[in-house]
Amino acid sequence: MDWGPISTLTGRMAGRSLRTGFQIDGAITGGDGSPQVADVIQRPMDLFILTLDLLGTFVFALSGATVGVRHRLDLFGVMVLSFVAATSGGMARDVLIGDHPPAALADWRYLAVCCLAGAITFYRIGLVEHLRNPVRMFDAAGLALFAVLGTQKALAFDLNPVSAVLLGMLTGIGGGMARDVLVARTPVVLQSELYAVAAIAGALVVVVGNWLKWPSAPVMLAGATLVFTLRFMAIRRSWSLPIAGPASPPGDDGDGQPPR
């Protein structure tokens, strides 16, 4: 992608990275004090990626907070669920690629966005519930944004394409899985509707675009659009992967033997 060598070089010279891996703390200047071309190019891309990341954080936080309200959690519980849903996937990815501390803990804006989403949902749940399938729609939007952002960050840390796709998928599905586990329900990713497959498809778009050296922003938007479209159609049309055999009767652990 366009950011390729320039973004990786400037990001490492600057030192610390954001969750997306491209934030530059200080300007890289020439001998006369003027910004280098790489730094001038990088700043708009940093802003673009940070905006997408915070937007993804907000919509995933809305999905977590909505689940919390539906399960009648108190205000603290709703805030916790919104933060967990919005940041778990990104924090897991950052730990795996060695970007410490995770941006969700190092940058106050992620916590602020999660708290804002949680407060809106807690005090104005009626507005959120007016949307059709609000949890699933917010979840689909967060999945789309995080899948492409996670893939791009993995590529910036020089991971191979396969690992980048897997980390993109993890970034997208991690928050939703953590949210569902905390309220004791089967994670959506383990059910029949397309979920992780949609994240993988979007991650592949980013990897292929990086390989072909296509402009970064359009490729990421195309990948996110693909993920959201697949997830939306899976919800509306009940698209799904093959499901395992019929459910075992109560008390049967599925091995064909009497209950122990």
Per-residue pLDDT of 179-210, as tens digits, reads 999 999 988 888 767 889 999 999 999 999 99
Read off φ and ψ for residue 35, nearest 5 degrees.
-65, 140
What pLDDT score does 240 carry?
A: 82
pLDDT level of residue 228 (50, 70, 90 thresholds): very high
Q: How many other CB atoms are found less than 10 A from the CB of residue 38?
A: 17
Instruction: Give the helix ranges, DSSP H, for 71-160.
Output: 75-97, 103-106, 108-123, 125-129, 134-156
Burial of 104-139, coded b for 16+ CB within 10 Å and e otherwise, reads: beebeebbebbebbbebbbeebeebeeeeebbbbbb
Domain boundaries, the chain: 4-24+42-237
Instruction: State the amino acid at position 43 in one-letter form.
Output: R
* Cβ pair 36, 30 in contact under 8 A: yes
Q: Is the pLDDT of residue 93 over 70?
A: yes
* Cβ pair 39, 118 in contact under 8 A: no
Q: Is the pLDDT of residue 86 over 50?
A: yes
* Cβ pair 114, 75 in contact under 8 A: no
pLDDT level of residue 17 (50, 70, 90 thresholds): very low
* Cβ pair 110, 104 in contact under 8 A: yes
Q: Is the pLDDT of residue 164 over 90?
A: yes
Q: Give the Å distances, CA to CA, from 46 to 3, 25, 115, 125.
A: 10, 11, 23, 33
**Taking the CA of residue 116 as centre, how many other CA atoms within 13 Å lie in the half-sphere pointing to its CB?**
11
What pLDDT score does 134 carry?
A: 74
Residue 157 CA to residue 144 CA, distance in Å, equals 21
Q: What's the DSSP call for residue 244?
A: P
The mean pLDDT value of the chain amounts to 81
42 or 217, which is more confident?
Answer: 217
Q: What percent of the chain has pLDDT over 90?
A: 53
Instruction: State the amino acid at position 193 in one-letter form.
Output: E
Which of 223, 244, 128, 235 lies closest to 188 in space, CA to CA? 235
Residue 11 CA to residue 28 CA, distance in Å, equals 10
